[in-house]
């Protein structure tokens, strides 16, 4: 089976290379924002949109116009890729996979894509117009390299993400089947009764983030110390994000390797976050990211991920006799079924119901 896989490595450019990369980030950001503005204005005036080919032709003309010659200092394919990324963002919006594209900011994460003519050899990375960037290859690159994305985080670190095409053996579906229920205190509860607690990385770093944020806000806009404070704040946010992703990667791999089918709820996370009492805990949990990891790792390791309808009353239904407890509230963590006298743990009961109805093919999305 053919799959695409990404390998991310830390790179260490020197001062001259940093200057070139900064210029490349700026060119890619300018092209993306320029044609996003052009698309918005064109639609407002003509009630129809522009395509990738319209923007690609306009980019060629833009590079010839007086005052925009500096765009020629960057790899032309990377500029074309910025236009293609904008077209992909529009497609995701119209397919209801993402929100409307935003303008890119200089203060955020910076990146540009190199689709061809790059090379990695002897811990050195060569890209068009910039050779010999030191790269830390902490693991072997498996597969055929297809493209590379150079990025800079808000904390000032540089990375190269290599997209490769590789062959893996067809997955063998073996193991058990489980249902999974999401929670706040417990990150997930399985139908086997296993409770995996929520690590709450954001809440554990909340006081430090608050202190760093307060220090940053007090600095004058033009002061050098403001940049230092911003960098410290970005590093702490990056640490929280890395901790969360590490936890989700390890858990998703464990579950997909141990089971041949996992039944999960299809929750509307974006709507749930609107509840201010739960917003911070929901954002800290990373449920959407976790489900995405389950799906692509399930394809790799032989595990089917099946979603259950969000309106299915998994928590309120007794998995033994089928009684529906209409009076169950969010604060009720245990409840006794009046029909069969079964004492239920709310989350375990929900996970068992998800497994039962998932196997039966009922309430699937």
Helix (H, G, I), strand (E, B) or coil at 297: helix
pLDDT in tens, 190-220: 999 899 988 989 889 999 999 999 999 998 8
Q: How far apart are CA 76 and CA 89, in angstroms?
A: 20
pLDDT in tens, 330-358: 788 888 898 898 898 888 999 999 998 88
Q: How far apart are CA 249 and CA 256, in angstroms?
A: 11
Confidence bin at 243 (pLDDT 50/70/90): very high
| Residue 357: per-residue pLDDT | 87
| Residue 161: per-residue pLDDT | 96
pLDDT in tens, 276-301: 666 777 777 888 899 999 999 998 88
138 token code pair: 């902490």
Rounded to whole angstroms, what are the CA distances from 110 to 78, 149, 329, 339?
13, 10, 45, 59
| Residue 363: per-residue pLDDT | 58
194 is catalytic: no
Helix (H, G, I), strand (E, B) or coil at 161: strand
What mean pLDDT value characterizes the chain?
89
Among all chains, which residue has been given the structure tokens 């029909």?
339
| Residue 216: per-residue pLDDT | 92
Q: How far apart are CA 257 and CA 273, in angstroms?
A: 30
Domain boundaries, the chain: 2-167, 176-360
**Candidates 65, 122, 194, 265; catalytic one:** 265
Sign of the torsion formed by the C-alpha atoms of 133, 138, 140 and 146: negative
115 token code pair: 């689709």
Sign of the torsion formed by the C-alpha atoms of 126, 132, 137 and 140: positive
Q: How far apart are CA 114 and CA 83, in angstroms?
A: 13
pTM: 0.84
| Residue 94: per-residue pLDDT | 93
73 is catalytic: no
**Candidates 65, 126, 170, 347; catalytic one:** 347
Among all chains, which residue has been given the structure tokens 């033994």?
320
pLDDT in tens, 120-147: 999 999 999 999 999 999 999 988 999 9
Q: Which residues pair with 9 in a beta bridge?
A: 160
Q: How far apart are CA 29 and CA 18, in angstroms?
A: 16
**Candidates 87, 122, 181, 345; catalytic one:** 181
Q: Within the chain, where are the H helices?
A: 15-46, 52-62, 76-94, 201-204, 206-218, 224-258, 269-272, 279-285, 287-301, 346-360
265 is catalytic: yes
Residue 231 pLDDT > 70: yes
Helix (H, G, I), strand (E, B) or coil at 129: coil
Q: How far apart are CA 12 and CA 134, in angstroms?
A: 5
Q: How far apart are CA 248 and CA 284, in angstroms?
A: 12
332 token code pair: 């009720």
Among all chains, which residue has been given the structure tokens 């993400």?
161
| Residue 362: per-residue pLDDT | 64
Q: How far apart are CA 345 and CA 355, in angstroms?
A: 16
Among all chains, which residue has been given the structure tokens 């141990």?
258
Confidence bin at 254 (pLDDT 50/70/90): very high
| Cβ(348)–Cβ(186) below 8 Å | no
| Cβ(243)–Cβ(256) below 8 Å | no
């Amino acid at each position: 089976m053919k799959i695409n896989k990404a390998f991310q490595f830390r790179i260490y450019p020197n001062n001259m290379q940093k200057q070139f990369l900064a210029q490349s980030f700026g060119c890619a950001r300018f092209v993306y924002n320029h044609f996003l503005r052009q698309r918005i204005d064109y639609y407002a005036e003509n009630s129809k949109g522009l395509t990738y080919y319209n923007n690609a032709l306009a980019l060629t003309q833009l590079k010839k116009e007086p005052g925009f010659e500096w765009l020629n200092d960057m790899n032309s394919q990377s500029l074309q890729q910025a236009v293609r990324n904008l077209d992909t963002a529009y497609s995701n919006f119209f397919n209801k996979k993402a929100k409307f594209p935003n303008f890119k900011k200089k203060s955020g994460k910076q990146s540009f894509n190199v689709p061809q003519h790059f090379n990695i050899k002897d811990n050195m990375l060569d890209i068009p117009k910039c050779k010999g960037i030191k790269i830390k290859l902490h693991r072997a690159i498996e597969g055929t390299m297809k493209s590379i994305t150079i990025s800079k985080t808000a904390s000032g670190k540089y990375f190269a993400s290599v997209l490769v095409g590789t062959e893996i053996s067809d997955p063998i579906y073996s193991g058990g089947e489980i249902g999974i229920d999401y929670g706040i205190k417990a990150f997930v509860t399985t139908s086997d009764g296993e409770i995996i607690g929520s690590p709450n990385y954001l809440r554990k770093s909340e006081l430090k983030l608050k202190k760093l944020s307060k220090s940053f806000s007090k600095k004058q806009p033009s002061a050098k110390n403001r940049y230092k404070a911003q960098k410290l704040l970005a590093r702490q946010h990056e640490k929280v994000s890395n901790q969360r992703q590490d936890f989700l990667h390890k858990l998703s791999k464990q579950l997909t390797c141990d089971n041949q089918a996992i039944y999960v709820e299809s929750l509307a996370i974006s709507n749930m976050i609107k509840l201010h009492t739960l917003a911070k805990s929901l954002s800290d949990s990373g449920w959407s990211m976790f489900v995405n990891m389950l799906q692509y790792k399930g394809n790799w390791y032989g595990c089917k991920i099946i979603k259950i309808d969000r309106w299915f009353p998994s928590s309120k239904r007794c998995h033994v006799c089928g009684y529906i407890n209409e009076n169950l509230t969010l604060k009720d963590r245990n409840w006794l079924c009046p029909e069969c006298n079964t004492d239920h743990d709310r989350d375990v009961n929900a996970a068992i119901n998800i497994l039962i109805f998932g196997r039966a093919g009922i309430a699937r999305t």
